[in-house]
Amino acid sequence: MMLSQADVARRAGVSIMTVSRVINGAENVRPETREKVLRAIGELSYYPNAAARALTRNRSYVLEVLIPHEDYFFSSEYFSELIFGIEKVVHDSDYNLIFNTYDPGQGAEYAALYKQRKVDGLVIVAPASNDRTIVKLHEESIPFVLVNGQVDDLEISFVDVDNVAGAFQAVQYLYDLGHRRIGIITGNLLVVNARHRLQGYLDFLSEKDFPEVEQWIFHGNWSEDSGYTGFSHLVNLKDPPSAIFCSNDLMAIGAMRAAADMGVGIPEAVSIVGYDDIRLASFVNPRLTTIHQPIHRVGKTAAELLLRLLSGQPERPRQVMLQPQLIVRKSCEAP
Residue whose C-alpha is closest to residue 286's, from 304, 259, 308, 310: 259
Choosing among 3.40.50.2300, 3.20.20.140, 1.20.810.10, 3.30.70.1170, the CATH entry for 163-293 is 3.40.50.2300
Could you tell me the CA-to-CA distances from 94 to 2, 54, 147 in Å, in that order? 11, 11, 22
User: What is the separation of C-alpha 56 from the centre of its chain, rounded to a whole number of angstroms?
Assistant: 36
Q: What is the pLDDT along the chain (335 residues), one digit of tens a residue?
A: 567 788 888 999 998 888 887 776 666 788 888 888 888 887 887 755 554 445 445 677 889 898 877 655 655 778 888 988 999 899 888 788 888 877 766 656 667 666 666 788 999 988 877 777 788 888 888 899 999 887 777 788 999 999 999 999 999 999 999 999 999 999 999 888 999 999 999 999 999 988 767 899 999 999 999 999 999 999 999 999 999 999 999 999 999 999 999 999 999 999 999 999 999 999 999 999 999 999 999 999 999 999 999 887 767 788 999 999 999 999 999 99
Asked whether 187 and 248 are in contact (CB, 8 A), the reply is yes
Contact 256, 249 (CB under 8 A): no
With vertex at residue 226, the alpha carbon angle to CA 210 and CA 216, rounded to the nearest 5 degrees, is 15
> Taking a C-beta distance cutoff of 8 angstroms, is the pair 116, 58 a contact?
no
The reply to whether 163-293 shares the fold of 1-47 is no
Whether 288 and 278 have beta carbons less than 8 Å apart is answered as no
3-state secondary structure 258-272: HHHHHCCCCCCCCEE
Length of the chain, please? 335
Determine the Cα–Cα distance for residues 120 and 138; give it in Å rounded to an integer: 14
Number of C-beta neighbours around residue 239 at 10 A: 8
Residue 171 falls in which region: left (phi positive, over 0), alpha (psi -120 to 50) or beta: alpha
Q: What are phi and psi of 177, to 5 degrees?
A: -75, -15
Q: What pLDDT is attached to residue 48? A: 59
Q: Where are the domains of the chain?
A: 1-47, 163-293
CB neighbourhood size of 116 (10 A): 9
CB 23 within 8 A of CB 56: no
HSE-up (13 A, CA, CB side) for residue 230: 33
- pLDDT of 60 reads 76
pLDDT for res 56: 43
Cα distance between residue 304 and residue 132, in whole Å: 25
H helices of the chain, where?
Answer: 5-12, 16-23, 31-44, 50-56, 71-74, 77-90, 107-115, 132-139, 163-177, 192-207, 224-235, 249-262, 295-309
DSSP, res 144: E
Range 11-29 burial, b when 16+ CB lie within 10 A, else e:
bbebbbbbbbbbbeeeeeb
CA 331/CA 288 separation, integer angstroms: 5
CATH number of 1-47: 1.10.260.40
